Structures are given as C-alpha cells and as structure tokens.
Amino acid sequence: MSWTERTEETLRQAGYRRGAARRIVVSVLAREGCCVTVPEIVDAARRQGHDVGLASVYRVLDLLTEKGLAQKIELGEGRARYERVEPQHERHHHHLVCTDCGRIEPFSDEELETALRRVEEETGFAVASHDVLLRGSCDDCRAA
Amino acid sequence: MSWTERTEETLRQAGYRRGAARRIVVSVLAREGCCVTVPEIVDAARRQGHDVGLASVYRVLDLLTEKGLAQKIELGEGRARYERVEPQHERHHHHLVCTDCGRIEPFSDEELETALRRVEEETGFAVASHDVLLRGSCDDCRAA
DNA sequence: ATCAGTGCAAAACATTTGCAGCATG
DNA sequence: CATGCTGCAAATGTTTTGCACTGAT
C-alpha cells in the first residue's frame, strides 16, 4: 500500500472528507521525497495545475502531522518544512544542511539509529520521534 | 578561561566594541545553561536590572552564532532558541521536548556522539555542528 | 571626534484565525 | 441538504531593517 493510499485510508476512517486541498497537498508530498516548505508546496501544486490556499495547506499539514502521516522539520531557516512519513520507518532519514548555500541533503545510517533508540529508552520520556540535523559547508561551497 | 571571558576576548580581537547590548546578552547566556528564547533573554536581563532592545538582542545573537560562541536551535515551537557554545564541546548536549507541555530537557550521550562523528566523516560536507532533537511525552504528561 | 552599536518604530515574513460560501458524503 | 472543508482577508507573532542618537575607542 502506497503512502498516498494509506494516507487517504487513514483520513477516511477517522471521518474526514476528501476535499480539494487535502487531495492536492497529499499528491504533492507523495511526489516530493525530502522536506519542502509551504510556498514550495503551493508552487508545486500550481505546476500540477491546481490552486490551493496557503491557509488550507497549513491546515492539511497540521492534520497529517497529528496523524503521524507527515512530519514538521525546522532546519534553522526561520520557516518549517514538511515531509511524508512512511510506515515501518521506511526511507526514514535525517538532514544535512549547507550553512553557505542552504542546500539540503538527506542521509541515513543504521548505526546512528541504533544509538538513538538506546538513548531514547534511557530518557524518562516516551519518545515518539527524533530528528538529527548536521550543519556545515557542502563540497561546492568549500571549493568556491 | 570562562565562556564569558573567551567571548569578550574573541569579539575584541575581531575589532568589535563592547556595547551595552552585547555585555547584557553575554551575561544572560552565561547564566542560562540551556536554550532560551529572545523574550526570555530580555526578561532575564530586566531581572538583572538591565533593559535591552529586542532588535539588539537579535543582532548580538546573530554575531555570537556567526562566531561559533552561541548556537541557534529550533525545537518546533515557531521561534528560535539560543544557547552558549563552550570550547572543546564542554557541556555539549542535545534536547528532549515534551510535545504535550513543551518541557525541554537536555541530555548527552557519548556513544551517540561517536556515531555522529562517524556519520559526519562519511558525508561530502565539512560538518561544523549538529543537533539531535527527541520528541515525546514527559513522565508528568504521560501520568496525567 | 569618529563611527560602531543601540533602541525605537516600521516593515517584512511566517503562521493562525474568523467567516462566508462551496461541495462532499 | 447538512456541515465539514476551503479560500480569502485580517490578525498574530517573530524576526529584520531604517534611521537618528549615543557612547566606546
């Protein structure tokens, strides 16, 4: 079952209707692999031939985040980014950000996840999710 | 050499003057162990008997961050937090945030740092810093 | 005395909210 | 055909910027 299918199914079962904004935002997130900003979502939607209101995008993203179907990520840019969350932590990844040009690259590492799981168990919290952010200069910026 | 001394020395050597706002913000960050918001800094300053303009606080924080003396952290609250950075990564730590009440707890783990250092070497970036954010419910909120 | 640093007020953004009309179930 | 969803516009909150004045060197 694809992320889109699982998402539509989850929302339907929770009693939500399948409105235009929800369909459009889900469609955009399904195609975008890594984290995108709200204006980027609106632009991508327009490129697909659909217009969505900013407010609706924020509302859909809040809903998806609350249901664990998407997650909000802040990389220090002063605005949030969102990306889909796959079941079984498939394609789970973290982010590498270039402090010079803003370039964002995803990465993943199983040993890091193992260390995180252990730390999460040791805290007094019931940890639901985690983010790792690496900041530095990308190869292009270092060469320049 | 304390963080305050190192900070004042670094700024002086870089040709910056020792103005009121800089002295006040440095003094507040020196006393706060963990990440604080800009209004929290202004309030803490007032409690110490000093008034600072919001804009100046932002400007000082930008400068300290650029010089690697402080770091900006976003925990998904819609506003940034700042904390001092000690030399040799002393007191280096990460953050655990309760998604119910907003409580923030610092934690540190040497094995996690080791895993991070290894991952950082494998990227094509020259990684300068990293943040780890754990989200979940704190014991109080889970009990309630 | 010079000019960097500061504070205020205004501007620029990001995000949230109120509400009237539309469209889903 | 009821009411949940959407879009607009206004409100809110955070961060940035312009500018005249102050104070450090």
Q: Is 90 exceeded by the pLDDT of residue A46?
A: yes
Residues of B in contact with A135 (CB under 8 A): 127-131
The H-or-E segment that residue A54 falls in is: helix A54-66
Residue A92: per-residue pLDDT: 97
Q: What band does B33 get if pLDDT is binned at 50, 70 and 90?
A: confident
Question: pLDDT at position A38, please?
Answer: 98
Q: Could you give phi then psi for residue A131, rounded to 5 degrees?
A: -130, 145
Check residue A33 and give its pLDDT. Answer: 87
Residue reference for tokens 């327009």: A46
A144 has pLDDT over 90: no
The nucleotide whose C1' lies nearest the CA of B24 is C6
- The per-residue pLDDT for B64 is 98
| Residue (of B136, B84, B23, B39) closest to A123 by Cα position | B136
Helix (H) or strand (E) holding A52, with range, is none
Contacts of residue A130 in chain B, CB cutoff 8 Å? Answer: 132-135
Q: Which of B28, B25, B20 is nearest to B63 (CA)?
A: B25
Mean pLDDT of A14-19: 98
Task: Establish whether the CB of A80 is closer than 7 Å to any nucleic acid atom in strand C.
Answer: yes
Q: Which sign, positive or negative, has the C-alpha torsion B83, B85, B86, B92?
A: positive
Provide, rounded to the nearest whole percent, the portion of chain A with pLDDT above 90. 96
Mean pLDDT of chain A: 97
Structure-token pair, residue A29: 């997130």
pLDDT at A28 over 90: yes
B1 pLDDT tier (thresholds 50, 70, 90): confident
Average pLDDT, integer, range A15-20: 98
How big is the CA angle at B44 (ends B39 and B47), to the nearest 5 degrees? 130
Res A7 pLDDT > 90: yes
Q: Which protein residue's Cα is closest to nucleotide D14 at C1'?
A: B79
Strand D close residues, chain B 33-62, CB < 7 angstroms:
37-39, 54-55, 58-59, 62
- Nearest by CB to residue B128, choosing from A116, A136, A139, is A136
Question: What domains can you pick out in chain B, each with its CATH number?
Answer: 1-85 (1.10.10.10), 92-144 (3.30.1490.190)
Task: Name the strand (E) or helix (H) holding A22.
Answer: helix A20-31
**For residue A60, which phi and psi values (nearest 5 degrees)?**
-65, -45
Q: Does the pLDDT at position B21 exceed 90? A: yes
Q: The pTM is what?
A: 0.95
| B130 chain-A contacts, CB cut-off 8 A | 132-135
B49 Cα to chain A: minimum distance (Å): 31
Scanning residues 40 through 69 of protein chain A, those with a beta carbon under 7 Å from any atom of strand D turn out to be 51-56, 59-60
